[in-house]
Homo-oligomer: A and B are copies of this chain.
Amino acid sequence: MPQLNATGPRSDTDAVLAARLAASATATGGEAMSDVQFFDWLDERRRKHSQEVRRTTFADLSGWHFTPDTGDLEHHSGRFFAVRGLRVRTDFGPVPQWHQPIIRQPEIGILGVVVREINGVLHCLMQAKTEPGNVNGVQLSPTVQATKSNYTRVHGGSPVPYLDCFREPQARGHRVLADVLQSEQGSWFFCKRNRNMIVEVGPEVEAGEDFCWLTLRQINALLHYENLVNMDARTVLSCLPDWQHGAGRQTPGIHSDTAVRSWITTQQSEREAGAELLPLREVWGRGWYRAEDRISHERGLFFSIVPVDVVSNRREVASWSQPLLEPHGTGVAALLVRRIDGVLHCLMHARAEPGYLDVIELGPTVQCTPENYAHLPPAARPLFLDLIQGARPEQVWFDTVLSEEGGRFLNAQNRYLIIEADDSVPADACADVPDVYQWVTLRQLGELLKYSHYVNMQARTLVAALRTVAGIAPGPTVADIGVPEIGGTAQGRGAGRADHR
């Protein structure tokens, strides 16, 4: 049995750890790799990682089939994941009942970042990783991104590098900084969750090919680039211990921690949201149809499931086939923020998605794909969407298009926005706002992130993004944050970026 109290390379108190993370987030020197070197390295990775993704038909999809009894789309091994049917009933939102296909992947994978001190500064070991669904091939990933099928090597591939750092880490003398199950997209996955881990190691761990050590300052800057820091990296980063509100410094919010938890419990208890897995064949004719080369919605809404063949020179296996979920349209995930009595608050939405384990999780203020609302009456249009889309430039703290998981989703992009609310959004006692919205401080979100299934994937990206700007008080704008332009491969969005190259 591993000794849980055997500490890693350092056995800091929480306060010392927060100070070390803060130093990494503000470091202007000591990097293992300069910003210029990083972009050169990334360009090199992009040249070396060839990958071809070709659409195919279900009939030609090697290793996958629709089972005769249920019509579910499954791998012949029964592993990886399956596409099944789902019936949803809810008392909330414009549509009280619907059917949909959904990805079922009951295994819990590991998303892990290794952290190490170099030149006295904490660095994260990041990976240049290709995924078939990525719009641009290579993105910056966690050290390890492994399903159980990966690391038990069901598909007979090569071992996952650095996986050992996350298996019995204490027994190996490593220190666990974060380790928590978090949900993934509840509209696309049924009860999917992954283990988000951050582990501090000693100097014995070095960066292999495709890996690089970056300070938190560097990663924070890269988060402002389009489609660069991948979803798995963002969710793990959001689970980092809160370095901006030192241990013990209990920045008060307008609602106590107990009141915030009580609000969440109220939303879980009073909303009815029943979701039941069904054979996939039960969704045909209920808004969905199956063609040779896709499963789609009759109105072309939401998403399709499409079969693809992948040939890669960098994966554990050189070629494979799989279905991917292809969303229709680019989503919007936007957080309204506001300083209230000097403390930064985020307007969180208690959001029900059919795939969540416990009814609701806290999502961004707005999370939607505007095109999906085109067929609904104006009253069904998401609250605050107009306000977000009409924000003035000086209200925009963050505005970057980022990708969702490229191993399951094809070209899935969301425009992530952090918008400073003006006086049109009440700071308190939102008499005209439904009680599914509430102001929560950034510190309170950090506390909730120590526990499972309170903050959803999109909100976790925005927590990571907000931490890149929230340190700069008061009222920073994107223009305040000089980040280097990335060389030719992905363009940052928004004005005012300095070019460091």
Contact = CB atoms under 8 A, between A and B. Distances in A.
B357 A259 contact: no
Contacts of A259: 4-5, 170, 176
Interface string A152-194: 0000000000000000001000001111110000000000010
Interface in A410-443: 428-431, 433-435, 438
A77 to B, nearest CB: 16
Nearest to A276: B277
Contacts of A254: 4-5
Interface in A234-282: 241, 248, 254-256, 258-263, 265-266, 268-269, 274
Interface in A440-479: 450-454
A154 to B, nearest CB: 14
Copies held by the complex: 2
A2 interface: yes
A420 B357 CA distance: 37
Number of chain A interface residues as a range: 35 or more
Most B CB contacts (10 A, CB to CB) among A106, A179, A430, A431 go to A179
Contacts of A274: 106
Contact of A108 (B195, B268, B430): B268
A261 B449 CA distance: 12
A179 B261 contact: yes
A1 B429 contact: yes
Contacts of A119: none
Nearest to A110: B269
A358 interface: yes
A258 B181 contact: no
Interface string A301-318: 000000000000000000
B428 A265 contact: no
Given A176-B258, A178-B258, A269-B110, A263 B4 contact: yes
Contacts of A451: 261, 451, 454
B1 A430 contact: yes
B179 A265 contact: yes
Contact of A180 (B1, B179, B181, B261): B261
21 contacts: A4-B255, A4-B263, A4-B438, A5-B255, A5-B259, A5-B428, A106-B274, A170-B259, A176-B258, A176-B259, A178-B258, A179-B262, A179-B265, A180-B261, A180-B265, A181-B268, A181-B269, A197-B265, A248-B248, A357-B358, A451-B451
